[in-house]
Amino acid sequence: MKKLFALQHRIYKSLQVETDRLLGEQPPAIQAYERNYDRDFQKSMSSLRPAKKEELINATRKSDITFIADFHTFRQAQRTALRIVREAVRPGETWWLGLELIPSHYQSALDDFQSGRIDLETFHETIHYDDEWGFPWKNYAPLFEWARENQIPLIALNRPKELFLSSASLRRAKHDTELQKRDQWAAGIITDLFSRTPRSKAKPRMIVLYGELHLASRHLPRQLALISKDYLGRPLKSLCIHQNVDRIYWYLARKNKEHQANVLRLRKNRFCVLSSTPWTKLQSLVTWAEGSASETIHEHDALLTDDLSTSFQDPIDYLFLMRTYGQAIAEFLNIAPAAFESLTLKTIQDADFVDSLEKEGLFSNREIRMIRYHVASNQRIYIPRVNIAYLGSPSQNRAAELAAIHLFRARAHIQEIFESKIDTYFRLIIESSFGFLGSLLLNPRRKCDLYEDHIRRLKHLRNSKRRLDRIESVARKLSLKMLGAERDLLRGRPFRAPLLGRFIDSDRLAPAAMLSARFLGQILGKKLHQALIAEIILPKDIRQLCLTCPKGAREPYREAYLTLLRLCAPARLGPTKQEVL
């Protein structure tokens, strides 16, 4: 849709301006280096084609070296890299994992940390992590942990800063001389690794996480080919996996095809994974540049959610983000924006706020238990009457979702958290769908649990005795029954909802009902988004069915829910979480 494209592009451009303001003008060497990177994609657009995850993994397993592009401030980039590593590496094989973030002269400290001979604090002090790298450690910690658990050696690849040119020399240098030396350095270490492996051993392979600009065909891959050919007598076979390339995303968006594939093949030895949007990636850079990358040494132990989580000490102004996102969502849907001045934002750092609510006596015991459940399970919740938006572990996705829910509540004038009425369940589905749709307008790559994901998660929860897990299990089972009823409806059969009364009336089961409504709402929100993209429905349909409750019906929200299901029936949901990177 042209209107949505224009809105998203405007957000992206504003973030570019903010990035330039915070980081200043790039040195000529880096500008020239970046132009080489852009040239790669200027030539690739005509040969773009969708590919399956299995095709990318097979190509990784057939290559000597796989380079994965890293956008250092963006946690999604490191998460995708870890998913590729997990899929590609099999037990009993010889693999290395190369990292740009560790200078090569700290290899012994890296080995000591991975083997447990030194702790994290000592490791960071030894390698001068904040000075040498400085990007969020929590982004990279899961890679270190996975490698340690699977006994995969980590290889430090970066050129030590002691060998860098001075800043003044760098400004005077022609083109990308110093950056080229960094590429040569890493290529030399990789070649040396392969030269030291006896031919009698199984073929070794390596996955390298390196800054995205280094992966231009003229940069690190070219240096590796030249150096390995000189020293090994043959060039090592390399593969490049780019991530979230802005030019590719906008090229596809102009053709309304940006949602059609998670993996793209550019040419024989190049792929691109689209797991997020250009503006979400840029927001991570802005956040880091503003100072939110400073973290404590133990942040890798923090509770992280499935979306774009940040640290608990994160100083991002999420209320400002919510206001910005709310205005963008309201503009797209052509509705009046809601006031955010009276809204209070709470995160997991403020989890004890529930005690104050209980003392104030504004909520029933049942409502307090419901709020406590959301806090304990790190779920976002909108609390009317006191105008509190609880983000849990804060993230941009949750901020956008709660901004949309604030719009929904402001128009519906609903003050209750959960009423003992069957129609409350359907109202919560619609509210959740509107919230999830709002977040998808700003991050269309956001995922939710589909039918197969619920089944997979239930297998994982089967033997758990934790109370929170039992509630989640009940919620997912109820969701599966509802999804079965939805399928019957779309096949022309009568819609037979499960017996919801026992969930609605029970203090013990009510949290599961509320969580189930959220699961179903996310799927419906995904359908609404796909239907909007395909122009099966229009923004006015969203306004009419989500924000204007049908009058005269005994269960108005149930009727609105069924109508939305029928309208969105032609929309395709796409792959499950397991099928994408």
Find the CATH number of the domain harbouring 117.
3.40.50.11550
Q: Is residue 301 part of a domain?
A: no
Report how many domains make up the chain. 3
pLDDT over 90 (residue 225): yes
Which pLDDT score, from 0 to 100, does residue 211 have? Answer: 95
Judge whether residue 348 has pLDDT over 90.
no
**pLDDT value at position 175?**
42
CA distance 415 to 170: 60
Q: Are strands 65-70 and 238-243 parallel, antiparallel or unpaired?
A: parallel
**pLDDT level of residue 24 (50, 70, 90 thresholds):** confident
Q: Are residues 150 and 109 in the same domain?
A: yes
Residue 298 belongs to a domain: no
Same domain, 257 and 351: no
* Rounded-to-integer distance, Cα 418 and Cα 428, Å: 9
Same domain, 400 and 436: no
Residue 448 lies in a domain: yes
413 and 427 share one domain: no
| Higher-scoring residue by pLDDT: 248, 420 | 248
For residue 369, is pLDDT > 70?
yes
Look at residue 314 in the predicted model and tell me its pLDDT: 45
How many other CB atoms are there within 10 angstroms of residue 334's CB atom?
11
Residue ending a domain, choose from 218, 253, 276: 276
pLDDT for residue 1: 67
Mean pLDDT to the nearest integer, 387-408 = 90
Domain region containing 51 = 28-276
Residue 169's pLDDT band (cuts 50, 70, 90): very low
392 plus 435 within the same structural domain: no
Is 181 found in the same domain as 155? Answer: yes
Enter the tokens of residue 45.
């657009």
Nearest C-alpha neighbor of 348 from the set 321, 374, 320 = 374
Pick the residue with more confidence: 392 or 270? 270
Is pTM beyond 0.85? Reply is: no
What pLDDT does residue 116 have?
95
297 pLDDT exceeds 50? Answer: no
CA distance 431 to 522: 10
Grade residue 454 by pLDDT with cuts at 50, 70 and 90: very high
Would the pLDDT of 3 be above 90? no
Does residue 172 carry a pLDDT above 80?
no
Within this chain, do residues 544 and 500 fall inside the same structural domain, yes or no?
A: yes
Domain shared by 104 and 196, yes or no: yes
In a shared domain, residues 177 and 194: yes
Q: Which of the listed residues 377, 399, 417 is the one where a domain comes to its end?
A: 417
Q: pLDDT digits over 104-145, tens only?
A: 999 999 999 999 999 999 999 999 999 889 999 999 999 999
pLDDT of residue 163: 67
Order of strands, sheet of 344-346, starting from the edge strand that comes earlier in the sequence: 344-346, 388-390, 381-383
Is the distance from CB of 569 to CB of 491 less than 8 angstroms? no
Give the end of a domain, one of 394, 417, 440: 417
How far apart (Å, rounded) are the C-alpha atoms in residues 499 and 509? 12
Q: In this structure, are 407 and 544 located in the same domain?
A: no
Range scoring the smallest mean pLDDT among 73-77, 187-191, 413-417, 487-491: 413-417
Question: Does 318 lie in the same domain as 262?
Answer: no
**416 vs 96, residue with greater confidence:** 96
Asked whether residue 405 falls in the same domain as residue 447, the answer is: no
Arithmetic mean of pLDDT over the chain: 87
pLDDT in tens, 531-562: 998 889 999 999 988 887 666 678 889 999 99
DSSP 82-131: HHHHHHH--TT--EEEEEEEEEGGGHHHHHHHHHTSS-HHHHHHHHTHHH
Residue 285 in any domain: the answer is no
Percent of the chain surpassing pLDDT 70:
91
Helix (H) or strand (E) holding 392: none
Dump pLDDT digits (tens) for 58-110: 999 999 999 999 999 999 999 999 999 999 999 999 999 999 999 999 999 99
More confident residue, 188 or 420: 188
> Residue 297 domain-assigned?
no
Arithmetic mean of pLDDT, 443-470: 90
Q: Band the pLDDT of 463: cuts 50, 70, 90.
A: confident
- How large is the average pLDDT for residues 193-215? 88
Residue 155 lies in a domain: yes
Q: Could you tell me if residue 2 is inside a domain?
A: no
Residue 5 lies in a domain: no
CA distance 548 to 131: 54
